[in-house]
Amino acid sequence: MHISYLPWGRGAHPNLWSWIEGAPKGVTIHEIDAGIDTGPIFVQRLVEFGQSETLATSYQRLREAVEELFAEFWPAIRSGSMFPRPQPSGGSYHRASEGAAILDRLPLRYETPVANLRKFNA
């Protein structure tokens, strides 16, 4: 389970990067493979947000969304009646150190309004 709409947000801090990069926001259940968040996708769901969110509130909503998605689709995945599809090309990947560097520049850290993150998209 991953709190990004793969292939965007592979790696660490996917919620942070979705706001900075203007990527689709959502959750994904995928197979684990040799890469980092590159496995075939079972199911995804987009999550809509307003600009009044913070990193903390958007993270919490994504976490709840992926848990709901898991509860809904785990029986089909477990029984083998649902099959994964390859991830589309493109997307993004970020290391933990990249996200930590951004967070260190945010005085409010996770309480930062997401609207304030656009300035980091250079």
Q: Give the residue numbers marked as catalytic.
A: 2
Beta-bridge mates of residue 27: 45
Give the chain's end-to-end CA distance (angstroms, integer). 29
d(CA 118, CA 6): 21
d(CA 60, CA 44): 17
93: Cβ contacts below 8 Å, ≥ 6 apart: 10, 11, 36, 37
d(CA 98, CA 13): 9
DSSP state of 16: H
